[in-house]
Structure 1
């Protein structure tokens, strides 16, 4: 019988519910249980695919092609499992499904209501992930904060689901803010008390409370919370700020969090094996204090919100720790980059990365970044739009096609080296209609890409509508651009690079490699990009950059 854990949040948003949930997933998996995770988001959008990164952060893409909340990236990185389209659903998706059924006559003319129809549909999502994944434990995070009007149907569905499954198979974890009031020099429990009171008024008594604070929440404060919230004292845990999100599993494990959850769910608390994870965190902290940091410039357009590039930032950190180095990441707005200041802004970079994105804003600045990386032999990694930018720059400045561009930005340009994919021409809906999810890529022998992957066929995740225009493929390759990755039918360009005799490491991919990076398994392109950046910083050959023998994972 699959066990279910529901994680809710109180007082304010952005508390770290996702990290708490992912940390529990890591701990339970370390005890030999198969864990799957999902995020229930109460907003009315069908999915995050059409939402602005400034509001929502990055859109994480699953292996099977679902555009999801960025918390799924944390889930995958912590539990090292590929999640699916069943792992994220919204109020909009629930309503869309119900309206389609109502239009088809499935309700036989009956009145469609929040209870029971919306709550039944939500409960079906809880059951569906259980049936599709054969998990021992499913951890579900509810987005938003208890008391939000849009979250009420989800809380009611969770209450009903507990009654359906039985209380022995379902538990509730409430993550709540315990703020520190500097004038009083103490943390305050009242916000958490009120939040739990609100949750209980909706029919749910939390089994565990996780106290989030920027100060330590000592035993006396936790006992007070336990008393007022009717929770056993050993079920209240402190989760004050840690140096890194990757320290949270060990911090909670030291308090016996996973042991208590196992006991509550009737699971055998098998011996925990966190060796590789702990080795990673030790290597991470060692890298923070040893050697000069490597500087990577990420030239994008959503730089005011780092969460817009969350998976890229994490993938860079994974790769740096792999080599025992610390990385400083500079987020640079491509819109503000010009020929007059490109040297000043990018002159100190040991590597330049141009990430994905949509829209023309900042395009010319990104092209300048690609040009500087190419002409000054700075290691370069382009991702999605970053590949298209690299191709446009090469076409303009090397292949003799001035003003080459993408038809996404300049529909009638003379040299449309990037064009809409043929199967996207009649697509009008924006959400969920791009080339999404994992697709195979044939990696060409004798290339930097093949050296990185060590395989001739790989699968990586995509999210795009535009591709390299095959009409210009021969002209680009004749000018020296190497196509290092192609779709198996060779119809689509998946990776490009410059030959080593021209540039030490210049690679771009149409797919998003950052989505598959893990703390203890850095993604191959990021790993080799970081190796090249370290070599550039240390002024050595990249093949002389070795992996530390004492890394331990």
Structure 2
């Protein structure tokens, strides 16, 4: 039977619960255990699909088409196991399901309440489908003390009593701030956080204390005493230079050992962390560096492009170079010449996005890359803007635009009204709800034999994850190909474009899907590895 580790956070948000969960999963895997990761989010949105990326960060899409929290990206990158729609749930989803049951009469007239109905739904979600796993790591979003998180904390408290003895453990993340005027690390925030957790019936087995400097032994003893946790289970979580150093750093501090000890497991095999050691070696001993410009519209919050920045780092690992990112708001290029911003750049990446704002600047970035022969990587919206740029400036279609921006005489990019998913027709309209209605999840594509992308993938049939509702209009294909923009990847039925590439350029590729979602540090996505390799070649010319 699976054992459950419930990961909570206190004091402040953004302490790294997602990374800690992912790193712990990686360490347990390295010991030979089968691990599943799950995330409970307390917000009322049904999923993050309609939330602003500048507020919530990126939406991570799974193969089966779920729009999920970005922490699931960390889970996949660290464990290599693909997440699915049953690995992330929100308060909104739970209440939506419960209210639908109430309307159907499923509760047979009973009064529907937070306890037991909401907490039972949470427990059912946590326990479902775990038969094949040794450990299930369950991260609870938010911070202990948040009112919206109380049903989740109550549910995991109940599970601690309902699961067989020795099958549940609690890991609590806190902050130990350094007060410069006092010259001390302070334990009081952690003490208060644990007190809050214990007041709702949860006693942590392991404390992971985030800090920017080593914790003195005396302060560890103090935390152990006042938080009622074994001294060996007070783990310092020091800042590291790369998130991919976390598994090695936390193993050195004994996090995985103490978690296993909470279950009474003392004879576990030592972990094989050689893959992580190789990743760390490549990160810290680069043989060069490249400058990559990300020209986007959500650059105010880097988490809006979290998987993207990590995939670029993976490309650097594959090529043994350091990837330096320059974040550029695409609106700047609507009023300024892009040359001063991009002349020292070795590669330009235009990521996904929604709406007209900043689109003209992305088109300018694509134009600069095409004219100056700078490697260009357009993802989703970035591919569409590259096609509009080509249509306007090489194919003579001066009014080429996207219907996403409003009515146009030349809808080079238009809304999809129907497509095929698992042999079933999916129909959408312009008045459809925004949430969960895009072309979501994994779809196959067929690549042109002999094309650059076929060479990069080493295959002519691929599967990649999508999140979009607009597509390049295939009626313009012949004219664009006549002017050097090859449609080198299409859907199996030939109706939807998936990849374009310039045949007259050193490296110019646009993809309708999101390859960054499948990249991992020990298995870099081939497109990102190739893009960074092209940037390395460009650096020798600049």
After superposition, what is the alpha-carbon deviation per residue over 1:159-178, rounded to whole angstroms, capped at 9, x for unaligned? 11111112411100000011
Moved over 3 A (4+): none
Gap change, CA 1:48 and 1:76, over 3 Å in 2: same
Q: Residue 87 of structure 1 contacts residue 129 of structure 1 at CA under 8 Å; is this kept in 2?
A: no
SS in 1 for 2:89: strand
In 2, the alpha carbon distance for the partners of 1:443 and 1:225 equals: 58
Classify the secondary structure of the residue corresponding to 1:212: strand
| SS in structure 1 at match of 2:235 | strand
TM-score of the pair, normalised by structure 1: 0.94
Contact 2:72 2:83 in 1 (8 A): yes
1:140-199 Cα deviation digits (max 9, x unpaired): 111110000000000000011111112411100000011111111110001100110110
Matched, 1:420 2:415: yes
Partner of 2:76: 76
Structure 2 gap ranges (5+): 419-427
- How far did 1:213 drift? 1.2
From 450, 469, 473, the counterpart of 1:469 = 473
Q: CA deviation at 1:258?
A: 1.0
Give the Cα–Cα distance (whole angstroms) in 2 for the partners of residues 222 and 455 of structure 1: 54
Indicate yes or no: 2:330 matched with 1:330: no
* Alpha-carbon distance between aligned partners in 1 of 2:153 and 2:478, rounded to the nearest angstrom: 58
- Are the aligned partners of 1:339 and 1:368 in contact in 2 as well (CA < 8 Å)? no
> Which secondary structure state, in structure 2, belongs to the residue aligned with residue 254 of structure 1?
helix
| Residue in structure 2 matched with residue 315 of structure 1 by the alignment | 311
Shift of 1:135: 1.8
| Distance in 1 (alpha carbons) for counterparts of 2:446 and 2:34 | 32
Equivalent in 438, 442, 446 of residue 446 of structure 2? 442
Query: Could you tell me how far 1:427 is from its partner in structure 2?
Result: 5.5
Secondary structure, aligned partner of 2:181: coil
- Match of residue 139 from structure 1: 137
**C-alpha contact (below 8 Å) 1:427/1:433 kept by paired residues:** no
Are 1:240 and 2:238 an aligned pair? yes
Deviation at 1:460, TM superposition (A): 0.5
d(CA) in 2 for partners of 1:218 and 1:9?
22
Contact 1:319-1:530 at 8 Å conserved across structures:
yes
Q: CA deviation at 1:265?
A: 2.1
Q: Secondary structure at the match of 1:5?
A: strand
Q: TM-score, normalised by structure 2?
A: 0.96
The CA deviation string for residues 39-86 of structure 1, in whole angstroms up to 9 with x for no partner, is: 111011111100001110111111111111111111111111101111
Aligned counterparts of 2:509 and 2:160: Cα–Cα separation in 1: 50
The SS at the match of 2:321 is: coil
- The alpha-carbon deviation at position 266 of structure 1 amounts to 4.1
Could you say which residue in structure 1 is the equivalent of 2:395? 399
Tell me the secondary structure at the aligned position of residue 252 of structure 1: helix
Q: Do structure 1's residue 455 and structure 2's residue 450 form an aligned pair?
A: no
Among residues 422, 429, 437, which one is paired with 1:433 in the alignment?
Answer: 437
Aligned partner of 1:550 in structure 2 is none
- Are residues 1:538 and 2:540 paired? yes
C-alpha distance in 2 between matches for 1:337 and 1:451: 33
Matched, 1:488 2:487: no
2:172–2:206 Cα contact (<8 Å) kept? yes
Match of 1:286 in 2: 285
Q: 2:248 touches 2:276 (CA, 8 Å); kept in 1? A: no
CA contact (8 A) 2:247 2:276 kept: no
The reply to whether residue 363 of structure 1 matches residue 359 of structure 2 is yes
Q: Is the 8 A contact 2:2 2:136 kept in 1?
A: yes
**C-alpha contact 1:298 1:353 (8 A) present in aligned 2:** yes
Q: CA–CA distance in 1 between the matches of 2:245 and 2:483?
A: 49
Counterpart CA distance in 2 for 1:422 and 1:480 is 28
Is the 1:461–1:511 contact (alpha carbons within 8 Å) kept by the matching residues of 2? Answer: yes
Moved more, 148-157 or 426-435: 426-435
Please report how far the alpha carbon of residue 443 of structure 1 lies from its aligned counterpart in structure 2 after TM superposition.
Answer: 1.3
Question: Aligned partners of 1:508 and 1:421: how far apart in 2?
Answer: 18
The aligned residue for residue 183 of structure 1 is 181
- d(CA) in 1 for partners of 2:75, 2:154: 25
CA distance in 2, matches of 1:188, 1:200: 20
User: 2:334 touches 2:358 (CA, 8 Å); kept in 1?
Assistant: no
Question: Could you say which residue in structure 2 is the equivalent of 1:549?
Answer: none
Tell me if the contact between 2:445 and 2:492 (Cα under 8 Å) persists in the aligned partners.
Answer: yes
1:338, 1:319 → 2: CA distance? 30
Deviations 1:67-124 (A, max 9, x none): 1111111111111110111111110011001000001110111110000000000001
Alignment of 1:93-132 (within 5 A): 93-131=93-131
2:294 corresponds in structure 1 to 298
Indicate conservation of the 8 Å contact 1:263/1:269, yes or no.
no
Matching residue of 1:195: 193
- The aligned residue for residue 506 of structure 2 is 504
- Structure 2 SS opposite 1:349: coil
1:129–1:9 Cα change, 3 Å: farther
Q: In the alignment, what sits opposite 1:551?
A: none
Q: Which residue of 1 aligns with 2:87?
A: 87
Q: Is the 8 A contact 1:31 1:271 kept in 2?
A: yes
After the TM superposition, which of the residue ranges 447-456 and 338-347 deviates more from structure 2? Answer: 338-347
CA distance in 1, matches of 2:194, 2:260: 22
CA distance in 2, matches of 1:232, 1:248: 22
Return the alpha-carbon distance in structure 2 between the equivalents of residues 385 and 167 of structure 1. 51
Query: Residue 434 of structure 2 aligns to a residue in which SS?
Result: coil
How many residues of Structure 1 are paired with residues of Structure 2 in the alignment?
Answer: 532
**Two-structure CA RMSD over aligned residues (Å):** 1.2
